[in-house]
């Protein structure tokens, strides 16, 4: 396909989503290197340039684990969730708010002075509560107040959200970024919710890349989860997609954030590159 054909194919999608909100969850696993981050940042600025209002929500699990190891602290997990004592929470805040968030903001701003880093603690954006006492300061989303995000979007800026929330007493919690992205998309009434991760999408058979599911409904995904085809770190992504689509988000997507310009290909071409979840 030549360049002109690509642009012509993209045009109706640009028209459809101009002025709409797209929430993009950029996973810590997708932060494979500076070239990948630069490609993602350029995609975000292009979305903004054609009138799509982007909100970036990011994780940072691998980066938290790396700093814990450097500090001599051994990570502990229960059912795939990191046990988070007070020291681990401090490390998570340093990594998510002070490192990963700043890296993404800086990368976007190279292509245009648009990105503003915020945390779920800012302006009471994310009200959290303990997920499980055995996990310590791991939180779940109680409510999302999107006012600060709407103000930033109204100023034609790109919010970049670190997924630390707090309860009404000011206690901070580390929250699963997949869950936060879905909750933010719902609160904003987003047209699309996109997960950029380290796999090409949802597979009908675990471990079989050839079984990539290009399009699915929430009911389809429920069946795949019940049948064991979806497990581990994909479960919160799929659960968030299902909930978001059932609660008003028009489309949700899961795709490989390590592939160059995967975000643009998924949003602006008929075939796409990952899995799209839409109502039946």
pLDDT in tens, 178-233: 999 999 999 999 999 999 988 889 999 888 888 999 999 999 999 999 988 888 77
Q: How confident is the model at residue 16 (pLDDT cuts 50, 70, 90)?
A: very high
Task: State mean pLDDT over 166-174.
Answer: 96
Query: How confident is the model at residue 34, as a pLDDT?
Result: 57
Q: Structure pTM?
A: 0.93
Query: How confident is the model at residue 230, as a pLDDT?
Result: 87
Query: How confident is the model at residue 223, as a pLDDT?
Result: 93
Domains detected in the chain: 3-277 (3.40.1160.10)
Output 84 or 256, whichever has higher pLDDT.
84
What mean pLDDT value characterizes the chain?
91
pLDDT at 127 over 70: yes
pLDDT at 33 over 60: no
pLDDT at 57 over 60: yes
pLDDT at 53 over 60: yes
Query: How confident is the model at residue 209, as a pLDDT?
Result: 83
- HEC-encoded secondary structure of the chain: CCHHHHHHHHHHHHHHHCCCEEEEEECHHHCCCHHHHHHHHHHHHHHHHCCCEEEEEECCHHHHHHHHHHCCCCCCEECCEECECHHHHHHHHHHHHHHHHHHHHHHHHHHCCCEEEEECCHHHCEEEEECCHHHECEEEEEEECCHHHHHHHHCCCEEEEECEEECCCCCEEEECHHHHHHHHHHHHCCCEEEEEECCCCCECCCCCHHHECCEECHHHHHHHHHCCCCCCCHHHHHHHHHHHHHCCCCEEEEEECCCCCHHHHHHHCCCCCCEEECCC
């Amino acid at each position: 396909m030549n360049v002109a054909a690509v642009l012509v194919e993209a045009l109706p999608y640009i028209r459809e989503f101009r002025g709409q909100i797209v929430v993009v969850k950029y996973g810590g696993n997708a932060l494979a290197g500076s070239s990948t981050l630069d490609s993602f940042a350029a995609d975000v600025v292009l979305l903004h340039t054609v009138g799509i209002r982007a909100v970036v929500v990011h994780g940072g699990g691998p980066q938290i684990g790396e700093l814990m190891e450097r500090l001599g602290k051994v990570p502990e997990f229960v059912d795939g969730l990191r046990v988070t004592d007070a020291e681990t929470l401090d490390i998570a805040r340093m990594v998510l708010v002070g490192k990963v968030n700043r890296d993404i903001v800086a990368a976007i701003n190279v292509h245009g002075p648009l990105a503003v880093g915020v945390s779920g603690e800012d302006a009471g954006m994310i009200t959290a509560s303990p997920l499980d006492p055995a996990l310590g300061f791991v939180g779940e989303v109680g409510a999302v107040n999107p006012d600060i995000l709407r103000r930033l979007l109204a100023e034609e800026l790109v919010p970049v959200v670190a997924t630390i929330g707090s309860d009404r007493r000011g206690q901070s919690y580390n929250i699963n970024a997949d869950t936060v992205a879905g909750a933010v998309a719902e609160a904003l009434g987003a047209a699309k919710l996109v997960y950029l991760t380290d796999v090409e999408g949802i597979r009908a058979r675990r471990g079989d890349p050839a079984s990539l599911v290009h399009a699915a409904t929430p009911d389809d995904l429920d069946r795949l989860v019940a049948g064991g085809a979806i497990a581990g770190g994909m479960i919160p992504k799929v659960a968030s997609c299902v909930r978001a689509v059932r609660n008003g988000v028009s489309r949700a997507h899961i795709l490989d954030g390590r592939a160059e310009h995967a975000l643009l290909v998924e949003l602006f071409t008929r075939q796409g590159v990952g899995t799209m979840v839409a109502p039946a």
